[in-house]
Amino acid sequence: NCHLSPGHHPSRNGVITTDELSRYYLIIMVDLSVTLAGVPLTSCVYNASGPRTGSSAAMSKIAKSASGGVLAKSATISSQKGNDLPRTWHEDNGKASLNSEGLPNSGIDYYIDPKTVSETMGESPTKPYMVSISGKNIADNLQMLQKISSTIESGSMNIAAVELNLACPNIVGKPTIGYDFEQMEDVMKQVASLPCFSGSKPLFPLGVKMPPYFDRPHFEMAAAILNKYKHIVSYAASINTIGNALAIDFHAEMPVIRAKGGFAGLSGAAVKYTALANVKQMRELLDNSIDVVGVGGVQTGRDAFELILCGATAVQVGTCHWTEGPGCFDRICDELKTIMKDKGYGTVEDFRGKLKEWSKEGVALSRQMKMASKKSSTSGETQLTSSNNNSSLIIAILFAIIAVLLADKLNIVSL
């Protein structure tokens, strides 16, 4: 009998029969639910602010999916149309996307209106509804936070959390706050001075959307500021798009994006590895009281698994939701559950932040698993080929019988 314990694939500890494996799977009830910044999520996978989040009609589809919650479009004080079209682009192979939307949205009043929330959440009142804000300046952000506070205090609706966008690189002429550490310090100081954060406990959990960092000193400076304000910062979402990317229309010899000379934020599968590194480093540097949300390049359950392995409490999906629609949440969650079952994990906490150090043993195990997978695939193809050959033979025999019967019926031959 092999020993089975969470964190170990059955095949790593010896031979196990199909029946034993089935019983093992029945014992392990995979649970994707997590608590993010004190907010219960029905699944660790939910939507990023941006794609398909501008209206209650769009957000209601997220609420009906396997997404653990609903995060609204990043709001400004007033509604705005955003940059000129075309402002988005998707590479044909699906590996990368660009956007320079300029924050088109319906304004903060729309996203905190009880009617909007009711239309969004519908029959999913157990899921949290969260708001994202991205003012053009600190004054706008402070005003929106005060509006949200007033709405919550009035008791007219429940806003589970607020995400403050410090990472939007797409507004013409505006700096990215997350790269200007002096400005970032000033923003956090002014936010902390608001009445909603001045008590012993914040009125609501506050998250911050961070830009991608590439140098260790920058990680350290950003984390130091967030740690300084850990009494108000509940989570950090990392990463936003990688700014100032450029894609060219080969035939027209021009940028594919109209605004800002074609420069735009890079997202999709291409940014996954930058996201993994950012999540890993932010988790190492941030105070344990601040959760990390992994964002960037999540297209599969494996992508989500890897971000959680690096320390993310939850994972947001943006570009994939944009291109595939809300059905992506069901698929990604199912894939993640399968991975957890295969590895013997029952909950997200079983593997969160438990990325192992590189080792020769790990390389050997990886090689063994790849060879086993390749062998299984080859075996499956052989069986399929054999099955196809058998089917072809049966069809040929049937055609021959039909031909003989027809010939007899037409008196061409006599049986």
Return the number of other C-beta atoms located less than 10 Å from residue 110's C-beta: 17
- The tokens for 380 are 């499956």
Nearest-angstrom CA–CA distance, 80 and 201: 34
Check if the beta carbon of residue 208 is closer than 8 Å to that of residue 240.
no
Query: At a CB cut-off of 8 Å and minimum separation 6, what does 289 contact?
Result: 230, 234
Strands 34-36 vs 39-41: parallel, antiparallel or unpaired = antiparallel
The confidence score (pLDDT) of residue 391 equals 64
DSSP state of 216: H
Return the number of other C-beta atoms located less than 10 Å from residue 49's C-beta: 25
How far are the Cα atoms of 178, 179, 191, 303 from residue 185, in angstroms, in the given order? 9, 11, 10, 32
Nearest-angstrom CA–CA distance, 39 and 69: 10
The confidence score (pLDDT) of residue 397 equals 78
Catalytic residue among 2, 44, 168, 196: 168
The confidence score (pLDDT) of residue 307 equals 98
Strand, coil or helix: what is 39?
strand
The pTM of this model reads 0.84
Check if the beta carbon of residue 284 is closer than 8 Å to that of residue 257.
no
User: Which of the residues in the chain have pLDDT under 50?
Assistant: 1-12, 23, 26-27
With both helix axes pointing from N to C terminus, report the angle between 301-309 and 272-285 in degrees, rounded to the nearest 10.
30
The confidence score (pLDDT) of residue 387 equals 56
The confidence score (pLDDT) of residue 158 equals 86
The confidence score (pLDDT) of residue 199 equals 83
φ, ψ of residue 288 to 5 degrees: the values are -60, -20
Single out the residue of 4, 1, 3, 9 nearest to residue 339, CA to CA.
9
The confidence score (pLDDT) of residue 123 equals 75
Catalytic (active site) residue 328: no
Q: Which residue has the tokens 């890897």?
A: 306
